[in-house]
Amino acid sequence: MRGTGGVEVLHIGDHPDPRPKAGELLVRVRATAVNRADLLQRRGKYPPPEGASEILGLEMAGEVEAAGPGCEGWNPGDRVCALLPGGGYAQKAAVPAGVAMRIPDRLSYEEAAAIPEAFLTAYHNLFSLGGLLPGMTVLVHAGGSGVGTAAIQLVREAGAVSLVTAGSPAKIDRCRELGARAGWNYRQGPFAPWVTEQTGGRGVDLVLDFVGAPYFGQNLSSLATDGKLIVIGAMGGGVADRVDLLDLLFRRLQILASSIRSLDTARKTDLTKRFAGFALPLFADGRLAPVIDSVYDWTQVASAHLRMESNANVGKIVLRIGG
């Protein structure tokens, strides 16, 4: 980026090749994907973690060029995808071997690049934090987003039920195709009464929320006793007020928050191992599938960012890395 701001600060330029350290793989990147964090970083509102690449990009798919010391089991040519703290919008990336996942044969690089951020985020929040079990009901906001479409599928495969909110009938229809039981168009008004109706007055066990402050009160009222609100983002604002602590106490509610980008490598490795054991066989046989909205050449990165900013996408926006 040339400074921070609108899409005009994005450009393709030269940068020294990353040098893999012990325990890292050097990967030739074939595809990456656009995330909300990229838009925030571009505007100067979400700097990368200390020591991470200043180049945008939180995930990638490609093939191993070289394996550093301590990377047993990896060979040049192996197809991998991985979550990154930065540096995915590039032709090469150095990746800790512990966070690299082997790409199932049936998936292209573009499909594989759409997996790490969305599915690992959804998995971590649903299972690690949410304790998702069969029979639970989950309210997934932004159901048409990359994380939303991933969460719907993971909930389905866990034997649980998802309800979603989204901004158009077409998005809700797509969510239902992926396994959501029902959807609410948030443009039609508050969602909490609809959740009450859908759950017979009981409420949901988990809420995955990207919106933040504007939804906070409704999220709490939508929870069943012992329910958990998991805050993944704050697109609508970060300051909520008028919290009834007695309500939290009486209904034993929990409010949790997470950011995978800031996790250390050891915790990311553990998360990746657990996710891969659960999900890679399901990707291999087609029960799970990345939902791709569109694929752009990386020279069209500005258009890709503008599409995400328009909220028009259903699923992931992928960049094909050339050169």
Q: Which amino acid is at 309?
A: E
Question: Rounded distance, CA 92 to CA 126, Å?
Answer: 32
**pLDDT for res 208:** 97
**pLDDT for res 254:** 97
- Would residue 1 count as lying in a domain? no
Do 57 and 91 share a domain, yes or no? Answer: yes
Q: Which of 63, 154, 66 is nearest to 113 (CA)?
A: 63
**pLDDT for res 241:** 82
Per-residue pLDDT tens for 75-127? Answer: 999 999 999 999 999 999 999 999 999 999 999 999 999 999 999 999 999 99
Question: Rounded distance, CA 141 to CA 164, Å?
Answer: 6
Per-residue pLDDT tens for 158-185? Answer: 999 999 999 999 999 999 999 999 999 9
**Which residue range(s) make up the domain with 288?**
7-115+263-320
- Would residue 40 count as lying in a domain? yes
Return phi, psi of residue 286, to 5°. Answer: 90, 0
pTM check: above 0.75: yes
Kindly report the CATH number assigned to the domain that includes residue 56: 3.90.180.10
Pairing of strands 59-67, 92-96: unpaired
Do 170 and 219 share a domain, yes or no? Answer: yes
Per-residue pLDDT tens for 30-39? Answer: 999 999 999 9
> How far is CA 242 from each of CA 89, 117, 149, 207, 253, rounded to the nearest angstrom?
41, 33, 31, 19, 16
Q: Based on the structure, what is the number of domains in the chain?
A: 2
- Contact call for residues 204 and 138 (beta carbons, < 8 A): yes
Q: Which of 240, 258, 276 is a domain's end point?
A: 258
- Would residue 67 count as lying in a domain? yes
Do 297 and 277 share a domain, yes or no? Answer: yes
Average pLDDT over all residues of the chain: 96
**pLDDT for res 262:** 86
- Would residue 212 count as lying in a domain? yes
Give the 3-state secondary structure of residue 5. Answer: coil
Per-residue pLDDT tens for 252-310? Answer: 999 999 989 889 999 999 999 999 999 999 999 999 999 999 999 999 999 999 999 99
How many whole angstroms from its chain centre is CA 64?
24
Kindly report the CATH number assigned to the domain that includes residue 155: 3.40.50.720
> How far is CA 164 from each of CA 120, 168, 188, 192, 195, rounded to the nearest angstrom?
19, 12, 14, 12, 9
Per-residue pLDDT tens for 125-153? Answer: 999 999 999 999 999 999 999 999 999 99
Do 137 and 99 share a domain, yes or no? Answer: no
Question: Rounded distance, CA 195 to CA 68, Å?
Answer: 51
Per-residue pLDDT tens for 214-254? Answer: 999 999 999 999 999 999 988 888 898 888 999 999 999 99
Do 80 and 129 share a domain, yes or no? Answer: no
Question: Rounded distance, CA 312 to CA 170, Å?
Answer: 11
Tell me: pLDDT of 51 over 90: no
- Contact call for residues 320 and 301 (beta carbons, < 8 A): no
**pLDDT for res 323:** 76
Tell me: pLDDT of 211 over 80: yes
Do 109 and 226 share a domain, yes or no? Answer: no
**pLDDT for res 33:** 98
Do 122 and 254 share a domain, yes or no? Answer: yes
**pLDDT for res 235:** 82
Q: Which of 243, 258, 273 is a domain's end point?
A: 258
